[in-house]
Structure 1
């Protein structure tokens, strides 16, 4: 008897339509021409005379090759699934039906990865990210919530094979942390993590309330791109104030005997950046300036987008403001994204294991659909 979960011809038709759509998004015929052109260029004499330009060409070639290879792989998986399913229908061999279902599952994964690439149109989407988590309303609870989110994201980065540098995560006096800033290094880190920017809401029984009352807590997540070397943001030294202080560890204890922690205030905008996890004051200042430059870059980008929005006319959003996701631990257990509608009752897999891909993929799919309708 056939497995009820076996793939059907109709499902394969749907996957074929997804494949055609992705092939169009990625402009694969043009990518094939580009691959041939760049391969010829990279094989030409003197190609490596300008190492910096050569590296850019190789990166562009690799990216185009990955898209073309992904489409070719998906087409082969679709062909294999159809062939196995047709043979299963003809012969009644259930092993062939299982094979078809397996190939269809592999095709779905391939398409999800290809769709993700098609959604990342900003060149910075493919690079590293700076993530900052700050407590919102909720007092001590918000500091604990900030710490929970911090570890959730570290687990997520570990799952993705990304490396992280913790730039600033001082312990709060009673519970949790005052804030967290960390840099994520990995392919598509910024593009993926952009989905997490906004306000995250936690509902649970308060661990600090003797009466065990339900508490609602908020924390904000900011995601910035690490600016590539060819993008420079001019910061006038007269516009910044640099303060140094003792770096603090667990429980507010000093972790060294020098004033190595750095706080930079950008006077015209009021932006404040702190960094204390590097070994020297110079290193902390360098990292803090990188974060400040990324924030100033995003600020200018937002100003430009706001001007374009004024020209387009008023926008009417239906939602919860900047609140993007709710994590409910009591009276029931559920994590729900308020944009895409994706939800799960397996709260531990999200908070303790960093299983965020279902939410992040769904967000990008929701965003792409929304932009197509505009």
Structure 2
């Protein structure tokens, strides 16, 4: 059942936010208010649509019940009632989904980390395939991808690549990608035509904003050193590489891709803030066992979540038992949204089911 008092409370809060934002608040306060406003706006639009549809439905039913109207008018009102009933049911479901507990980081940008796992050179090539899949998917969403750090494989692909992904609802769309991705295919270097299995690990962390987490300068130990790379790449004679240690948590990040120490430090801080924020979210989530039980998978990055089987042209997501025979479109990023949509819907269905028990 939909608690109507919740809807009234949300509408009142939305009106309050509009008033507060128009009263010239402090810039930091305005940022917080505008984020809450943007988060509530889609749901408020659905609620207003529901209220209007319910009012129209009540009007149609009153017309049908009026003994004074003629048969033709009653027939038209009955058709309108049927259409409005369907509309109300859909809007009710949309509002119920909108009222589900929100992950406060859903609207955030994300740090995407892809690392080669078991499988040697083939794993690095697969990690490269996965990263290009996410790049293409991001491009189709209108997002921006910026590589923060990369270590290339011996024959191509990546041993590790870390990137910033920015745009609308990035973390909400990518957060279920964390875990072990497995590939089954015949490597180009395999003369006997044997199928090899290798893996890559994906981690998606919400990017922290200034309003999310405060990192004190006194908690940081910053070391600089000379960058080095395979084949002389990125080698220079200045201490441009940066390693930052967050002393309270022991989290360490290092970036050496840029020749500028300033740029490397900025990228390292961006990555450090994301990892601190992610660690804090994990700590809080571990205290909410019921909420974690409802997540798609455990969120454990050692969990095998998906298999890409090239000989059969299929992709299987093991968490929800989804198999799609469109591997080429998915690995190209063009049909990745089909998998992501299914994961989000399954997650929402689990939350709705828990509310009904």
Pairing partner for 1:184 from 165, 168, 184: 165
User: Structure 1 unaligned runs (5+)?
Assistant: 1-20, 84-89
For the residues of structure 2 that align with 1:319 and 1:185, how far apart are their CA atoms?
A: 21
SS in 2 for 1:203: strand
C-alpha displacement of 1:37? 2.1
Post-superposition Cα deviations, 1:306-345, rounded to whole Å, max 9, x if no partner, equal 46659x99xxx99996011111102x11011111222211
C-alpha displacement of 1:167? 0.7
Partner of 2:10: 31
C-alpha displacement of 1:259? 5.4
SS in 2 for 1:191: helix
For the residues of structure 2 that align with 1:122 and 1:270, how far apart are their CA atoms?
A: 26
For the residues of structure 2 that align with 1:235 and 1:116, how far apart are their CA atoms?
A: 41
After TM superposition, the structure 1 = structure 2 runs for residues 72-87 of structure 1, keeping only pairs within 5 Å, are 72=48
After TM superposition, the structure 1 = structure 2 runs for residues 121-270 of structure 1, keeping only pairs within 5 Å, are 121-230=102-211, 231-234=213-216, 241-246=223-228, 253-254=233-234, 260-264=240-244
SS in 1 for 2:24: helix
Task: Summarize the Cα distance change of 1:350–1:120 in structure 2 as closer, same or farther, 3 Å threshold.
Answer: farther
Pairing partner for 1:326 from 307, 311, 318: 307
For the residues of structure 1 that align with 2:179 and 2:204, how far apart are their CA atoms?
A: 9
Structure 1 length-normalised TM: 0.71
CA RMSD of aligned residues (A): 4.2
Task: Summarize the Cα distance change of 1:116–1:318 in structure 2 as closer, same or farther, 3 Å threshold.
Answer: closer
Moved more, 120-129 or 228-237: 228-237
C-alpha displacement of 1:147? 0.3
For the residues of structure 2 that align with 1:276 and 1:211, how far apart are their CA atoms?
A: 40
Partner of 1:346: 326
SS in 2 for 1:245: coil
C-alpha displacement of 1:245? 0.4
User: Structure 2 unaligned runs (5+)?
Assistant: 61-74
Confirm whether residue 66 of structure 1 aligns to residue 39 of structure 2: no
Post-superposition Cα deviations, 1:124-144, rounded to whole Å, max 9, x if no partner, equal 211111010000000000100
Confirm whether residue 51 of structure 1 aligns to residue 31 of structure 2: no
